[in-house]
Structure 1
Amino acid sequence: MKFLRVPVLLLAGALLLSGCASLGTAAQAGAAAAPPAAAGAASAPAPAPGAPPAFATVVKDAKASEGLFTLWRKDDKLWLELKPEDLNRPYFFSPKLATGIGEAGLFGGLMASSPRIVEFRRLNNQVQLIAPNLAYTAAAGTPTGRAVQAAFSPSLVTSAPVASQPHPQRKSVLVELNALFVGDLLGIASTLDRSYRQGYAFEARNSAIGKERALPDAVSFEVLGHFATARIAQAQPGATVVPSTPGTVPDARSLFVTVYYALARLPEQPMAPRASDPRIGYFQSVRSDFSDDLARSPRQRFVNRWRLEKKDPAAALSEPVKPITYWLDRSIPDKYRGAISAGILEWNKAFERIGFRDAIRVEVQPDDADFDTLDVNRASVRWMTNAAPSFGAIGPSHVDPRSGEIVDADIGIESLSSRNRRTERAQVLAIGQGPDTHAGHDAAACTHADGAAEQLGYALDVLEARGELDPGSLDTEAYVLAYLKDVTMHEVGHTLGLRHNFRASRVYGEAQLSDPAFTADHALTGSVMEYAAVNLPAPGQAGGVPFQTTLGPYDYWAIEYGYKPLSAADEAAELSRIAARSAEPELAYGTDEDNALGIDPEALQFDLGDDPVAFASKRFAIARDLLARQERRALPPGSDYPVLRRSVSYALRDLGRAATVLARQIGGVRTLRDAPGSGRDPLQPLPAAQQRLALDTLSRGLLAADSIRLSPTLQRRLAPDFAERTDAVFSGETQIATDYSLVGAVLELQRNVLNQLMSDAVAARLLDSQGKASSAADALPLAELYQRLTRDVWSELRAGGDIAPPRRELQREHVNRVAALLLRPGALSRADARSLLRAQSRTLLAQMEVARRRPGLSAEARAHLADSAETLLQALSARPVRASS
């Protein structure tokens, strides 16, 4: 995916979007290797004292490689020859990681987060590699253009002294690439420091330039960088920052990272940019053009897309002049190449609808190939083996910021063995059992493949427990291949320019999703850019296909907007017509920020179907059925207890996801991207009836006293994987859990729900929704939410009987939150919310006082009620700490 933001690849502060494209070069004519240098030596005057040596002296006995620039190699030295016409000219600069350490975001084969456009500039006897500031522009030669040039600074990437006198005939000079690039240009030492706190630093003495290549349109070379620390810091008692060490290198004091650098020629004629539209999800190239003082905003936004042109513009269906070709790296196992190729080529269906035949092609890198799939201008798919699952798959691209033209992309897919590592870790580590209900993830990260892999593992566990799937069968292999095709389509979509679409899961209903025939021909959602939950059948029912294996209607629409050939005269009107279809249900769109802001109940990850309550109810039933089957699961001799722990963990995590879907309905506001004229209001609070139904389902499924139960017998069998526990201990893991705490796991799910439902944001939205509702009945009152939470969490106060330990834990969580809000009312921004909470607290306090005097309570329950009542009483009596104005 495009958006994995790893804590690396910072180039002098940040790398900017840029790109490159191939073109021929004639600049090397007459630049034959040794003869020109020798010829120049005969007529070259002796250099002045202190001046660089003669060109011929520097390259004596060096081997020349001719390409976009001529490279000269002698032993461990590498020089780049710069002619006068090479200076002050833009080039594409593309850094990538050729080798890494398998953790900390340093993964071999990973693109830098963004490339740059750079220029060589000579300043006296220094050659500087400059990144011009392309984010701000105006018409050259105008007063505004001069003002912009004076206002915004370029950045220095690196620099080195001129290494030679000018060549007598070509007037070119040499600059030593060792001096320019053997350093920490990407800020890798900073990444290591943030990850391990060990004081790693770049060590030039044991670093070097490796292999280089010169092509007509580019030159590339590798820098083997050594990073070292003199000593390994140990954790100090009471320290807030705990140092750690890489677990993937033989000696933690030393490690190598190889960076691939490429310099390539930019297109002489930038591609015609295409304006973006917020109703359709494309990555964008953004610049501020100050040429027009009367424009509402100087910001211009272009969609990122490949340059795709018909060979025959008049033909209804034509091959492209240059197809988008993805190279399968030779690292991909043979058994997965078919599924990955199918996922890539699936996108041809969308391009055929707009007149392109075979717009996308797949090639396989031969085992004896003399090129690297990291080469610039070569889109690729690589297989990456990391120490632990980190992202599942990633689809970044490099873009020419002048136009939004995508010129390079390298998809990385993590080895499926990494998925097994996640399963093993779940059996020994104390990890949270559900995602945060705010979904406040990094809005620039793609975790689709990682989540889909867990969904794959969960599905295989469920179907194996039901006796519907043999782990070693061809059906299981088909599940894995369907997952790979799904993941590949998603990541290819990113490299075509498309962003996530988290509203697409609401397109189809349960009847369609459960129909094998329908799901064989249709995507499960409106778009493969969605994070769709695996399509599992309810216990005892048949179901559709588990993963998305074809494009959805939104995908066809988005490709039409970005790639349909349009004349300049008709483009604006035609794009407006295409985007105006956004209100059609199958074209629903909501992306990362819609999900991350936590407002929209429809822009969610890992939900499925047009009825969120029905979806959550179904997933609750599936999880409970899996838990029940573990109760009676017979383990044959020679098997392992950790399989029980794995299945229980899977079930609880999925319960947490379903609870997240329901919690987001409460106080939810649909945020639609429609333009005026669609007939829909852009901000639509969810109807009160739907919120109540979600709250009922959430209460029964997670907050009720009997919502999740495991027998004592099963809980005693939830042993860890002791071999994996040993590895975890010696690798420095600190959150190891030998025992399995069901109470703790369930409490974590319940805590997430309380965090969401008792948040200031939900309270404010419920109060605001009363003003947006057409009638009072259409809005869910905040008082009703507070009353319902209190009633469900403290149900034993009315029902009588004792209070079980897990219920006491949940009740303590609730009362602590109430007390904290009473003591610090500034945490609730609305006066009505604060007053309602105080009123609810007084009612609850009275109920506690009555309940703790009744017979039949255990000593623990009686103490729990007394302590909870004291907490509330003190909070109600204390002087509130109000935020200062």
Structure 2
Amino acid sequence: MKRILLLCLLATFFTTQDSFAQRKESRRKKSKNKTEEKAPEGKSDKNGFKPYSKVITKDAVTDSGLFQVHKIKDEFFYEVPFSQLNKDMLWVTRIAQIPNGLGGGYINAGSKTNEQVVQWERFQDKILIKIKSYASVADSTKAISNSVRVNNYEPTLYAFDIKAFDKDSTAAVINVTKLFSSDVKGISALSGRLRKQYKVKKLDANRSFINSVKSFPKNIEVKQDFTYDAAEPPTERAAESISLQVNQSMILLPEQPMQPRLYDPRVGFFTVKQYDYGSEALKADQKTYIRRWRLEPSDVEAYKRGELVEPVKPIVYYLDPGTPESLKEYIKQGIEDWQKPFETSGFKNAIIAKDAPTPEEDPEFSPEDIRYSVVRYVASTTRNAVGPSVSDPRSGEIIESDIIWYHNHLRSYRNRYLLETGAANPSARTLDTPEEEIGEMMRMVIAHEVGHALGFPHNMAASYAYDVASYRDGAFTQKNGIAASLMDYARYNYIAQPGDTNIRFVRQMGPYDHYATNWGYRWIPEATSPLMEKATLNQWIQEKAGDPVYKFGRQSSSFDPQSQTEAIGNDPVKASTYGIKNLRYVAQNLPSWTSSKTNDYQDLEELYGELIGVYSRFVGHVVTNIGGVFENLKTPAQGGVVYTHLDEASQKESMQWLQNNLFETPTWLVDPAILQNIDHAGYAEKIRRTQSRYLNRLLSFDRLGRLIDAETTQTEYYSALEMLSHLRSGIWSETRRGASVDIYRRNLQRSYLERMAYLMTDEGPKSRSGRPGFEGALRYDISASDVRPLVRGELQKLKKTLRSARNASVDTMTKYHYEDAIARIDQLLDPK
């Protein structure tokens, strides 16, 4: 009996346990699949999810792609696949259409206003868009990756309620109408600065709507038409409104990021940066990768054998549908000029130019579509061209880029061509530059901007690679152009003189462009990680070390005579001497080349203003020599030092040149045949403004600091004391000669006193920080430095000289001027 009872109890126990386990498993499955439960037809389930057919009705117009997109009347829905959750997507906001004048001319149709990586995530009954950052990273297998995650919590861009699930429960349905019809700051095309400038109050919902939403296999494109209430719009002020069309692009980034290539500052590339907390270094190790397109050989074995191979996916640029027919040829040539440098890196047909497809050929084509790189032709009076791009922050892979060409930019090149080459180049002496020459200029500008879009920054040292004398050699210029790189700001050969023959005046692709393209784009098959490439990349640099043709000079090196914008030749004094000689010839002939032909003075006025600008640049190149420091980037293994001061003799020569060509009044700029036909007054002010600009640059805390620093490292140097003494002696030379001081010199001398007062009273720059990639001003404690004693000493010497000169003054105006100068010095030295 006991045995039977025991068996019954055991049977009951196991039955109960089995039943409990089944209920537990049932609850687990229900919990796991609760989002997949289907509500009875026509009713919401207990979680509030509606049946799919009640959300996505038969009226829906559906577009399939990365996400399913549905339009029902004026509302838009996304089906977000669970398979795409937590994947990296690049979100780019651009302006598609823009009102005239917004942003002052440097914002246009096609301008990118924001670029960010996002991930779509599920949180309970919501779908979130999270902004993802790769500024701080760590290997996910390492414990510190958890700390990186919790200390870099990403913001939520937007949150959506899940409305339903698709028919097989693999995607969540959300309503995105509010996201794209509201003024969401994270994806707005109107920056805070512009909102403040135009006194934007709010988005007017009644005049704002979603234009279109299109889904493609790897991207979604949304166009919004927005109108803002604005008290002071840039145009149509009476409407108190700003209307613009915005394009939102979201593209799925590669599941496997491109293998990054480590940056080396000795070769110029734009970069992306990450702090790697998983590094073995005893710090957050900053990893810097170059930005470049993903080029992989279509035939690996042939590439290894050294044969030219087409890439798996070439770089394709489309021409804006609004491009004038007469310019298309030159734009295409400028794009495909980069085929030769890519051949140096082992790829043929790596970059291709195409016309945009017609609406009949591809009704879906849009210049804002992130799948297409486009040379945008902008109907704007702005004179500029730019080459921006968007890239994958994980690897530096460039995903897409738009070259922006502003319509009036050709006028800038015509003017510069006339002013800088007109003395030696008869075909430039006209307002109607021959079409083929204008086309060649445009071709080179487009190629320059494409270079930026390929990852290359300006290389300001490339024009310093050639000797000044070479620019007068026809055979040399035809072969080598005017700089070792197209990425320099070396536009024209302003050194060649009248009588020089067979001269090339316009820039072209150079040997550095081939070298840098090979360094950044050559595929290294045996290297399976960035570190494995490093030795090879370093070897390529070492092979070219010491050859100025392959030197990279940062644009930020404003202190480096080698790396100057708009300069050519390896001797600024000689180059600027030739340049001014040519400019004087042009100035004499400017009326006959312009107003005499057109019978009005508009072009004469414009070109004269730009002529002063060209003269100013020539002067600025020589100013950089004073306190100049050469920057030659190198590794310790290469030996030598990175920074070297320009020699004393060259600096003294530069100071004398400035006295002769800047501070002694450039009277050739004061031509009545020009000035009295373009303005009623202000002639002396034009000269004063130019002289003061460069006087102030000479008398800057930054330059004085470098001159003082030279005493700590050099045995022979041009001291700050010598520089100030030479400057004072030259600017106030009339005091020694007993000569009258004319209006130009009086203006200059008062500007000198104003600048000396600034040096005595200002505290100097507060920080060295500036634009990324650009050097800030040298920062040091001015009050504890030699600056104030030097300035005080110079002013006391000057005061003594002025007292003697005042008594010997030959005219009343000079005497008054000296008395005023003495009073100013007294006030400065003893304010009480």
Residue from 571, 588, 605 that aligns with 2:533: 571
Question: Which secondary structure does the structure 2 equivalent of 1:610 belong to?
Answer: coil
Change (3 A) 1:634 1:659: closer
Tell me which protein shows more helix as a share of its residues: 2
1:804 deviates by: 1.0
Q: Is 1:82 aligned to residue 69 of structure 2?
A: no
User: What's 1:246 paired with?
Assistant: 234
Map of 1:725 onto structure 2: none
TM-fit CA distance, 1:792: 1.5
5 Å-filtered alignment, 1:843-858, equals 843-857=797-811
Q: Tell me, yes or no, if structure 1 residue 837 matches structure 2 residue 796.
A: no
Give 1:317's match in structure 2, choosing from 308, 313, 327.
308
TM-score by length of 1: 0.81
Instruction: Give the C-alpha shift of residue 469 in structure 1.
Output: 3.0
Could you tell me which of 45, 48, 68 is aligned with 1:70? 68
1:263 paired to 2:250? yes
Q: Does 1:593 align with 2:547?
A: no
Aligned to 2:397: 405
* Aligned partner letter, 2:287: Q
Which residue is 2:181 aligned to? 182
State the secondary structure of the residue aligned to 1:666: coil
What amino acid is aligned across from residue 797 of structure 2 in structure 1? T
**In the alignment, structure 1 residue 671 sits paired with structure 2 residue 631:** yes
Q: How does 1:737-752 map to 2 (within 5 A)?
A: 739-752=680-693
> In the alignment, residue 615 of structure 1 is paired with which amino acid?
A
Tell me the CA shift for residue 627 of structure 1: 2.4
- Per the alignment, residue 784 of structure 1 pairs with 722
Query: 1:814: Cα distance to partner?
Result: 0.7
Comparing 507-516 with 487-496, greater Cα deviation is found at 507-516
RMSD value over aligned CA atoms?
Answer: 2.7
Cα shift at 1:635: 4.5
Residue 192 of structure 1, CA deviation: 6.0
- Which of the numbers 706, 711, 718 marks the counterpart of 1:765? 706
- Tell me the alpha carbon deviations over residues 572-613 of structure 1, each in whole angstroms, 9 at most, x when there is no partner: 22111113234321111122322xxx3222221000111111
After TM superposition, the structure 1 stretch with the greater mean CA deviation from structure 2, 181-190 or 304-313, is 181-190
- The DSSP-based 3-state class of the residue aligned with 1:79 is strand
Partner of 2:654: 694
How far apart are 1:141 and its partner, in Å? 4.3
- TM-score, scaled relative to structure 2: 0.86
Matched, 1:873 2:832: no
Rate the CA distance shift 1:653–1:561 in 2: closer, same or farther, 3 A.
Answer: same
3-state SS of 1:808 partner: helix
- In 2, are the aligned partners of 1:113 and 1:396 still within 8 Å (CA)? no
The reply on whether 1:517 has 2:465 as its aligned counterpart is no
Partner of 1:20: none
**Alignment partners' CA distance in 1, 2:170 and 2:785:** 76
Counterpart-to-counterpart distance in 1, 2:421 and 2:762: 49
Task: Give the match for residue 804 of structure 1.
Answer: 742
Q: Specify the alignment match of 2:770 in structure 1.
A: none
1:241 is aligned to: none
Between the aligned partners of 1:684 and 1:525, the Cα distance in structure 2 is 23
Aligned residues of 1:224 and 1:257 also touching (Cα < 8 A)? yes
Residue of structure 1 equivalent to 2:577 = 617
Inter-CA distance 830–744: structure 2 relative to 1 (3 Å threshold): farther
CA deviations on 1:727-776 (whole Å, 9 max, x unpaired) are xxxxxxxxxxxx45221121111111111111122112112112222x33
**Amino acid paired to 1:493:** G
User: Counterpart in 2 of 1:14?
Assistant: none
Q: For residue 375 of structure 2, what is the aligned residue in structure 1?
A: 381
Query: In 2, distance between residues paired with 1:328 and 1:641?
Result: 36
> Residue 102 of structure 1 contacts residue 385 of structure 1 at CA under 8 Å; is this kept in 2?
no
Q: Sort the Cα spacing of 1:191 and 1:577 in 2 relative to 1 into closer, same or farther, 3 A.
A: same
**Secondary structure in 2 matching 1:526:** coil
- In structure 2, the gaps of 5 or more residues are 1-36, 765-780
CA shift, 1:532, in A, is 0.9
CA deviation after TM superposition for structure 1 residue 257, in Å: 1.5
Cα distance, 1:474–1:620 mapped onto 2, change above 3 Å: closer
1:469–1:824 Cα change, 3 Å: closer
The AA in structure 2 aligned to 1:414 is Y
**Where do 1:716-735 residues align within 5 Å?**
716-719=676-679
| CA shift for structure 1 position 670 | 0.8
Contact 2:495–2:579 under 8 Å retained in 1: no
- What SS does structure 1 have at the residue aligned with 2:242? strand
SS of structure 2 residue aligned to 1:72 = strand
- Cα offsets for 1:134-166 (capped at 9, x unmatched): 22121224321111111111122223333x222
Match of 1:329 among 320, 327, 330: 320
> Structure 1 residue 498 and structure 2 residue 492: aligned?
no
- Identify if the C-alpha distance between structure 1 residues 706 and 267 changes in structure 2 by more than 3 Å, giving closer, same or farther: closer
Structure 1 unaligned residues grouped into runs of 5+? 1-39, 233-244, 421-452, 720-738, 880-885
Task: Say if 2:266 is the partner of 1:279.
Answer: yes
Q: Distance in 2 between matches of 1:820 and 1:762?
A: 14
2: CA distance between counterparts of 1:751 and 1:532?
Answer: 26
CA distance in structure 2 between the partners assigned to 1:648 and 1:109 by the alignment: 32
What is the SS of the residue equivalent to 1:604?
coil
Cα deviation for residue 282 of structure 1 reads 1.0
Aligned to 1:862: 815
1:47 aligns with 2:47: no
Task: Give me the whole-angstrom Cα distance separating, in 1, the residues matched to 2:758 and 2:39.
Answer: 86
- What CA deviation, in whole Å up to 9, does each residue of 1:216-264 have, x standing for no partner? 22221211111113x45xxxxxxxxxxxx413x4745112111111222
Q: Does 1:342 align with 2:333?
A: yes
Distance 2:815 2:430 in 1: 53
Conserved 8 A contact 2:738-2:809:
no
- Looking at structure 2, the residues matched to 713 and 171 of structure 1 have their Cα atoms a distance apart, in angstroms, of 80
User: What is the CA–CA distance in structure 2 between the aligned matches of 1:609 and 1:463, rounded to whole Å?
Assistant: 15
Residues in 2 aligned to 1:125 and 1:813: alpha-carbon distance in whole angstroms: 70
Q: Which has the higher contact order (CA 8 A, sep 6+)?
A: 1
Give the distance between the partners of 2:608 and 2:196, measured in 1 at CA: 31
CA 138–822 in structure 1, closer or farther in 2 if over 3 Å, else same: closer
Partner in structure 1 of residue 445 of structure 2: 487
Is 1:546 the counterpart of 2:500 in the alignment? Answer: no
For residues 84 and 592 of structure 2, the distance between their equivalents in structure 1, rounded to whole angstroms, comes to: 75
Shift of 1:467: 8.9
Distance, in Å, in 1 between the alignment partners of 2:242 and 2:638 is 58
Shift of 1:335: 1.1
In the superposition, relative to structure 1, how do residues 746 and 228 fare at CA in structure 2: closer, same or farther (>3 Å)? same
SS at match of 1:94: strand
Q: CA deviation at 1:47?
A: 0.7
State the partner residue of 1:237: none
Matches of 2:599 and 2:148, distance apart in 1: 70
| Cα distance change on mapping 1:705 and 1:355 into 2, 3 Å | closer
The alignment-based identity, stated in percent, is 25
* Partner AA of 1:568 in structure 2: A
In structure 2, the residue matched to 1:30 is none
Alpha-carbon deviations, 1:69-124, whole Å to 9, x = none?
A: 11111222221111322322222222221111243347443242552221112334
CA distance in 2, matches of 1:791, 1:718: 35
Which residue of structure 1 aligns with residue 415 of structure 2?
Answer: 457
Q: 1:660 aligned to 2:595?
A: no
Shift of 1:509: 2.0
How many equivalent pairs are there?
762
Q: Is the 8 A contact 2:809 2:815 kept in 1?
A: no
| CA shift for structure 1 position 373 | 2.7
Shift of 1:537: 5.1
Corresponding letter in the other structure for 2:234: P
Distance 1:223 1:824 in 2: 49
Partner amino acid for 1:212?
A: V
Distance 1:602 1:609 in 2: 9
Distance 1:854 1:756 in 2: 32
- Give distance in 1, aligned partners of 2:430 and 2:595: 17
Maintained 8 Å contact 1:507/1:586:
yes
Q: Distance in 1 between matches of 2:161 and 2:505?
A: 60
